[in-house]
């Protein structure tokens, strides 16, 4: 089972040999078994890879994330048609009724708010308001409790913070981490035969990852926690460093709880995707399993 993420931040040439990813750089060569790798972030301006490696990554279920000149993730290469019941799963997904999708979205929103509350509590912040809001989420969240909880969450987490301020270091780190987590979730969905474009709540006709964006929501507080730890005692106008990008690329390796198990977010994404299939086939949103927050190592009030 794949359990690693690779973040490439220096010029390199990537190829494959003997079932391994071969990374050649000026100071030598490194090899990593393809079967161990879940995702690869190409965060280097002069990285090249062969078509043989690209094909091998798609065969092995490795998702590849590209970045732009500002080191912001801007693209994803996903393997497709690898599930033995691809057409059957897709047909079930497309035929889902609105009541079922609304109940699933309710579970997603509740899980997100509870994880936001747990993050605040790990910092010794008051999360009673969020805990109360989580109990108010109805099927489909018709009262938009998610947005109200978000305002309370950001107010409690940071002073004088605006989520849409693209120049803020905290936002830069979170956006980087969200993009990597989104790619990992899309990978898990595709591996289960699901179509990422058809969401439970998100339904933009221009978004090829509506379902991934749905499932991403409870994962966001894990990314937030890593960003908050790294941004502590730094100026909000600082730029992302290589270490920042590497840390955010590793967000999928953070710990989470699924039921009584402690697993990585990468494994949690796979379990969430698998449980969505079970929920669809069992016509029960209660079968959807989402990660519960675990404070990252090094976090402190």
Tell me the domains of the chain and their CATH numbers: 4-77 (3.100.10.20), 86-293 (1.20.120.920)
Task: Provide the 10 A C-beta neighbour count for residue 24.
Answer: 15
The dihedral formed by the CA atoms of 199, 201, 206 and 209, expressed in degrees to the nearest 10: -40
Looking only at the bridges linking them, the beta strands covering 12-17 and 47-49 are parallel
Closest CA to 269 of 284, 285, 282, 254: 254
Residues of the chain under the 50 pLDDT cut: none
* Residue 217 pLDDT: 98
* Residue 64 pLDDT: 95
Tokens found for residue 71: 């080191």
| Segment (H or E) for 146 | helix 145-157
Tally helices (H) and strands (E) across the chain. Answer: 10, 11
Sign, CA dihedral 12-22-177-294, equals negative
* Residue 46 pLDDT: 86
- Alpha carbon 50 to chain centroid, angstroms: 27
Closest CA to 297 of 230, 220, 218: 230
d(CA 193, CA 275) in angstroms, rounded, equals 13
d(CA 80, CA 76) in angstroms, rounded, equals 12
* Residue 84 pLDDT: 61
Three-state SS at 149: helix
Q: Which residues pair with 40 in a beta bridge?
A: 6, 64
- What digits encode the pLDDT tens for the residues 213-240? 999 999 999 999 999 999 998 999 999 9
């Amino acid at each position: 089972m794949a359990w690693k993420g690779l973040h490439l931040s220096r010029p390199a040439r990537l190829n494959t040999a003997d079932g391994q990813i071969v990374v050649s750089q000026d100071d030598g060569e490194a090899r990593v078994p393809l079967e161990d790798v879940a995702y690869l972030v190409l965060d280097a301006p002069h990285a090249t890879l062969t078509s043989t490696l690209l094909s091998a990554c798609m065969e092995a279920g490795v998702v590849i994330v590209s970045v732009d000149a500002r080191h912001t993730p801007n693209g994803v290469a996903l393997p497709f048609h690898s599930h033995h019941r691809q057409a059957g799963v897709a047909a079930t997904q497309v035929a889902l009724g609105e009541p079922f999708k609304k109940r699933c979205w309710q579970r997603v929103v509740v899980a997100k708010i509870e994880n936001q509350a747990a993050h605040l509590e790990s910092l010794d912040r008051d999360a009673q308001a969020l805990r109360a809001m989580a109990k108010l989420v109805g099927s489909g969240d018709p009262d938009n409790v998610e947005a109200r909880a978000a305002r309370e969450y950001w107010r409690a987490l940071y002073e004088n913070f605006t989520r849409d301020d693209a120049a803020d270091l905290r936002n830069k780190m979170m956006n980087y981490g969200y993009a990597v987590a989104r790619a990992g979730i899309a990978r898990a969905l595709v591996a289960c035969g699901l179509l990422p474009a058809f969401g439970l709540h998100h339904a933009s006709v221009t978004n090829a990852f509506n379902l991934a964006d749905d499932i991403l929501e409870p994962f966001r507080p894990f990314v937030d926690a890593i960003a908050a730890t790294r941004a502590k005692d730094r100026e909000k106008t600082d730029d992302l460093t290589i270490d920042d990008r590497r840390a955010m690329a590793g967000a999928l390796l953070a710990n989470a709880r699924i039921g009584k198990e402690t697993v990585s977010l990468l494994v949690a994404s796979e379990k969430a995707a698998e449980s969505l299939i079970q929920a669809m086939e069992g016509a029960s949103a209660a079968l959807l399993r989402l990660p519960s927050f675990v404070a990252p190592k090094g976090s402190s009030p």
